[in-house]
Structure 1
């Protein structure tokens, strides 16, 4: 109730917490009203009872109209004024200072439901009423029935305990909401980062991701000296596949080949779509001999990929090189590209190694 279909999760949470807190304060107010009436304070008892009626009416009005801003303002105004009215009726600070803990809910609620600026305004209003109360404290005390010490102690403990419990609940939801929002923000940032670094068609790394990863691997090689092999591979006759069977089939071939490459690598290896039907494999801590054996194995198993739409088998050409300490990414990829060009020139479905 009070929730609109277009409300965000954050707004839904705030509406729920505000309703719970308003109800949680209105019910104890009924208890205090009866408590005061029973102990011979009829005027003081009438104030929290009247507050309960007005507060429940405000909640019902919110459920009917969904005007959350008005609901917040009315509840904050009530919870700010009622403790002061009650304190004045009890004779000022001597008998009623402990009820001030309930008035603190006004700036706290503004901090949770609105913003820091609104909370500051409500806190200033609270301080202004405190100053007003101090100036007229003697006048209030002169017209009040003194409260017995034992009753005052019970009254103090009940108010203090109930107030701190509700403040703890509000702070719990406040912190929980902020932690939830922070977690969602981190998840969104992680998802956005993944989208920025992933090729949307093949679901392997894109060129941007490749650039960053290759710079990192080259820096690692320069610092620690482990071998870094690079394979550039290209699907043979891919344009013919697109022209003959259509781009949808071509996309299917690209996805299958990318999955095949990814499934052939170790966890420490890296595969990225370099552009079109070309893919780059980075193989850290891998000698040129091991990289060649891997390329031959991938080349052989690529021919075993089956596609219902194709009447021919898909093959791929491979160019391999090893990065030398101090080389740039452009130099390494250029040499791998030249090796792959030699594979194409010698009939495709080949593996060629170029070290110079």
Structure 2
């Protein structure tokens, strides 16, 4: 029987690699006991901001059994999206919008869910069981479970870090009633390094291994629906969807090989370095056309144009005045306010040196 379990694990890893997963590990369903407590403390501090679903699903999110009592093992999987170039290269191009690396290609939700379902079908045929597959949108603590399964560790920026793939892994999970032999949890290997903390433009890390989402540019440009607080607008620079700064500076990325990344996540030409002028001119139909098949489509036209207006205000580019003026009477009041703020910034005299 033990030999059969080893054969199943080996075959499972081989099938996962065939489907594009570079990392695979197994954890017991109760392998991350501190996750629920940390989640409760984070929510109690209000650090989740407007992400109210985090509160509403806290009981189910805190542990695999809270979501599905029958689960016995968690199969954690990782798929690489390591970039070929410098994720911070557009910092010196204020007329362009910076989109987080993970969102420049195909929608990882669809791609990973498809691969997870294929792996699940294979597993049921090899070892009849009940199972559920999850990627991102479900109340699952992917990062603590991936750490427990040996895929990597949660770094001081709270994201998973892999020795083989750096900070560039999409995570998925399969919950199963099978009792699989667990892998050893991964040790934390950040050491004394604090590059990710120092790199954050908005000081979103109150301490190592802690994130205040309310200050995070990814949260502000993606999850936050209203006006972006003015205290963070200048620091946002030309970031219009997400932020890679804390990930990009991690020294472990030197081991990440872009050749290992799934080709479906290669940047689309129109998303690699979009012109702010083009983004400011988007209507609903244009937004849907540009961002079809992208995870960006979930934020809608108004949030994207709001973000582009903030970036335009930080650009110092006079050619963006005209498209901003066209937005000051926008039907969306948040967009209109961002456009007025940007125009004020562009018309203000430069600060004395």
Task: Give the TM-score taking structure 1 as reference length.
Answer: 0.21
Q: Which has the bigger relative contact order, CA under 8 A and spacing at least 6? A: 2
Task: Give the TM-score taking structure 2 as reference length.
Answer: 0.21
In terms of fraction of residues, the more helix-rich structure is: 1
